[in-house]
Amino acid sequence: MKILVARDYQHMSRLGACVVTAVLKGKPNLVLGLATGATPLGLYRELVKLYQEGRLDFSRVTTFNLDEYYGLSSSDPHSYHYYMEENFFRHINIRRENIHLPPGQPGDVAAACAAYEAAIAAAGGIDLQILGIGRNGHIGFNEPGAALNARTHLIDLAPETILANARFFASIDAVPRQAISMGMGSIMKARRILLLASGRDKAAAVAAALEGPVTTMVPASLLQLHPGVTVVLDRAAAEKLHSVVKGGGTWPACC
Ligand code: PGA
């Protein structure tokens, strides 16, 4: 696992964009796993900027998002379909048919989940998966528990996730209680993983994930078992780590 500690959120976003750029340059038909939430917004801004400067081409890229709220239509401003469109897709030259998110309103949940897994496999698997981390250590919407799901599935959101995400909604009552999320197996099968975390309120989850025991109670701790993980943190998110030389690591050449 490679851990980079950036100065601040903007620097974390730039380093993250460097990692994506390096992988995309090496494979123009990249299969890219995407995340939502507050954390990757700066990364998307950086990638859009690089595209606008003519330094990145998304015309052959295929994307698969981690998750979507269950029950929201893709035109709902709170949906992740909407988020991705607004913050990334409409600004770049990605082909519409190459964009994939779990459906928020599937007729048949099990069939939709199986179809999502099949689409990932048909694309050749995910080359690079971008992840944020929840304050409870979740990745995607794989919440802590005695057992974790391997594949794309419908999941009940943990109370702390509902609380954390209430800031994006008019009230906590408006936050959906369920989501469709890639499973831990879907995430762990990605060839490379880029985990981003920013802010002091993520420091405990980051320390538990990177330095604590591998446990289903901290889903992100399973990343310790993946051979191709790069973690980019800002200083605040790295605050509780013991073994990391802050500011250390090999920085991507473009940064
Ligand atoms: P955030 O969410 O980026 O909005 O903090 C991350 C997550 O819950 O995975």
Q: List pLDDT tens digits, range 55-100.
A: 999 999 999 999 999 999 999 999 999 999 999 999 999 999 999 9
3-state secondary structure of 113: helix
| Cβ-Cβ contacts under 8 Å for 114 (sequence gap 6 or more) | 151, 152
Ligand 1: residue whose CA is nearest its atom 2:
37
Q: How confident is the model at residue 251 (pLDDT cuts 50, 70, 90)?
A: low
pLDDT, tens digit (0-9, with 9 covering 90-100), for 195-247 = 999 999 999 999 999 999 999 999 999 999 999 999 999 999 999 999 865 54
pLDDT, tens digit (0-9, with 9 covering 90-100), for 160-203 = 999 999 999 999 999 999 999 999 999 999 999 999 999 999 99
What is d(CA 139, CA 221) in angstroms, rounded to the nearest whole number?
Answer: 10
Angle, vertex CA 251, rays to CA 2 and CA 14, nearest 5: 100
Both tokens of residue 156? 């009940």
Q: How confident is the model at residue 250 (pLDDT cuts 50, 70, 90)?
A: low
What is d(CA 210, CA 143) in angstroms, rounded to the nearest whole number?
Answer: 17
Maximum C-alpha span of the chain: 49
Query: Is the CB of residue 12 less than 8 Å from the CB of residue 239?
Result: no
- The whole-number average pLDDT for the span 140-154 is 97
pLDDT at 245: 54
Q: How confident is the model at residue 4 (pLDDT cuts 50, 70, 90)?
A: very high
What is d(CA 158, CA 177) in angstroms, rounded to the nearest whole number?
Answer: 8
Angle, vertex CA 144, rays to CA 138 and CA 149, nearest 5: 90
pLDDT at 253: 55
What is d(CA 1, CA 167) in angstroms, rounded to the nearest whole number?
Answer: 32
Q: How confident is the model at residue 252 (pLDDT cuts 50, 70, 90)?
A: low
**Catalytic residue selected from 11, 78, 138, 153:** 138
Please report, as a single letter, which amino acid is at residue 201: D
Q: Report the pocket of ligand 1 as residue ranges, CB < 6 Å.
A: 37-39, 132-134, 138
Q: Is the pLDDT at 136 greater than 60, yes or no?
A: yes
**Catalytic residue selected from 81, 143, 165, 234:** 143
Cα dihedral across residues 82, 87, 90, 95: positive or negative: negative
Query: Which domains does the chain possess?
Result: 2-234 (3.40.50.1360)
67 tagged catalytic? yes
143 tagged catalytic? yes
